[in-house]
Amino acid sequence: MLNFKPLPFHPLPDLKSTLGKWIEKLAKANNITFRNIFIYITAIGKDIGLIQALSILTELPEEELSKIENEIKKEFWKYKDYCPIKNCKFNNKYGFHIFRHLVHKHNLGVMWHQCPECDYKAKTTRTLAIHLANKHDIKAKWYECPHCEYETKLYSSLNQHLAFTHDIGVKWYGCPQCEYQSKHSTSLKRHLALKHDIGVKWYECPHCEYKAKQKHKLREHINFLHNPAVKMYDCNYCDFKTKYRKVLTEHLANIHDIDVKWYQCPHCEYKSKIKGDLNTHLAFTHDIGVKWYECPYCDHKAKSSGNLAKHIAFTHDIGAKWYECPQCEFKTKQRSNLNRHLANKHDIDVKWYQCPQCKYKTKQNSDLKRHINNRHDPNAKIHECSYCSFKTKYKLSLERHLSKIHPINHKKKNEIISES
């Protein structure tokens, strides 16, 4: 066995802390970097094990050290390209990146940099420099947008502004399954998981068979179904109840119009409970606050970059992606049109809309609404034909019936009305 000497200083371990945090304290007490002391401990641990190595270096009994929570993988030195922390799958062939990962992900070996102006401290000098520039105007450099009055102290923020506001330098992440695209790779991953079950990480309930694609959905499920001690907030106007006061407030505002803050359009009677909806209304109805996107091939302009892209694809066939039917010669520039065609013409991936009051079902939600209104709505106004027993709930249908079935009588009636 190699001959290793104990460290000069070794603070007593805190049983409420972890082994990794204690090694961090050992490094600070002996004025050694966390990386060097970790490599030193690893070299000894390969021969005699981690706990025994720490016992030799600190002259503390192994029984005492074994009581500390150990978050480090067993025989982690055999997998030197992987993070040594349990349940962490991060890997990199360069040791420098492993230790940088320990700092930023696990808060081990952090050398904090204190702000001289306030209590803020950072893990890196670069982060501290950004803080000093943004909060204290120390060595601040302003970056100006060449297209508008926007300015920022961060070069990265300028690039984000150019991408999201002016569509300059944008890298689009397109969904391979549908027309969705995003400026964020993380948003695309979320879309693929939620909409297409691709790359899904399932969160399973420990109490039942429920599972969710989002962690907060699992928390909500457990809170609602498996936590009887939680206080419930009941709606005084319906059967709705929730475990969150905020959700009850939103319910009262949206469903019962209680304590609603309305955002009123200053130009018409439109109002909304959501400020963003009012801004959209102002832009699309009154052309206020609109950023116009002009087509480079004609005089057309759109109020969103997405609508401009659709115009260019549909009108000028530039950047158009054709969706072809595998059963016939039909093709379209919209995936939703292809899905509708497959359902209506070939009965592929059909979503049926079932009437809750009879056996009627249809492939179109609009047809179901029309059916319910015609067949099951007792309060609907009936329009009756003056010449036969025909009746309908639609005035337009009555007009069509009169023109086709009673054209002579209908024409005479219109002439009399016009003369009077």
DSSP string, 284-349: HHH--S---EE-SSSS-EESSHHHHHHHHHHHH-SS---EE-SSSS-EES-HHHHHHHHHHHH--S
The model's pTM is 0.39
Tokens 């606050």, located at residue: 289
Q: Tens-of-pLDDT digits for all 420 residues of the chain?
A: 445 678 888 888 887 889 899 898 888 888 888 888 888 888 888 888 889 888 888 888 888 888 889 999 988 888 888 999 998 888 888 888 898 899 888 988 888 889 999 999 888 888 888 888 888 888 888 888 888 888 888 787 888 888 877 878 877 888 888 878 887 888 888 888 888 888 888 888 988 888 888 888 888 788 777 877 777 788 888 888 887 788 888 888 878 888 888 888 998 888 888 788 888 888 888 888 887 888 888 888 888 777 887 888 788 877 777 888 888 888 887 777 888 888 888 888 777 888 877 888 888 777 887 787 777 776 667 788 888 888 887 777 888 888 888 877 665 555 555 554
Tokens at 420, concatenated: 């009077």
DSSP 5: P
Q: What local confidence, expressed as pLDDT, does residue 182 receive?
A: 82
Cβ atoms of 353 and 363 within 8 Å: the answer is: yes
According to the model, what pLDDT value does residue 300 have?
87
Q: For residues 317-349, b (16+ Cβ closer than 10 Å) or e, as one string?
A: eeeeeebeeeeeeeebeeeeebbebbbeeeeee
Statement: 293-346 belongs to CATH 3.30.160.60:
yes
- CA 95-101-102 angle, to 5 degrees, is 95
The per-residue pLDDT for 1 is 43
Q: How far is it, in rounded angstroms, from Cα 190 to Cα 194?
A: 6
Domains of the chain: which residue ranges?
19-111, 293-346, 351-380, 385-419
Contact 392, 400 (CB under 8 A): no
Helix, strand or coil for residue 139? coil
204: Cβ contacts below 8 Å, ≥ 6 apart? 210, 211, 218
Q: Are 303 and 291 in contact (CB under 8 A)?
A: yes
User: What whole-number distance in Å separates Cα of residue 255 and Cα of residue 239?
Assistant: 12
Angle value at C-alpha 336, between 333 and 339, nearest 5 degrees: 110
Contact 371, 361 (CB under 8 A): no
Position 116 scores a pLDDT of 92
| Whole-number Å distance between alpha carbons of 372 and 382 | 14
Residue 362 CB contacts under 8 Å (≥ 6 apart), including other chains: 352, 353, 368, 371
Residue 48 exposed, middle or buried by CB count within 10 Å (0-12, 13-18, 19+):
middle
Residue 206 has what DSSP assignment?
S
- Take residue 142 and report the two structure tokens written for it: 């302003």
The confidence score (pLDDT) of residue 291 equals 79
Q: State the sign of the Cα–Cα–Cα–Cα dihedral 92, 95, 100, 101.
A: positive
Buried b (16+ CB within 10 A) or exposed e, 84-98: bbeeeeeeeeeeeeb
264: phi then psi, degrees, rounded to nearest 5? -95, 135
Q: How far is CA 253 from the centre of its chain?
A: 25
Q: Could you give the CA distance from residue 385 to residue 401 in angstroms, rounded to a whole number?
A: 8
Please tell me whether residue 273 adopts helix, strand or coil conformation: coil
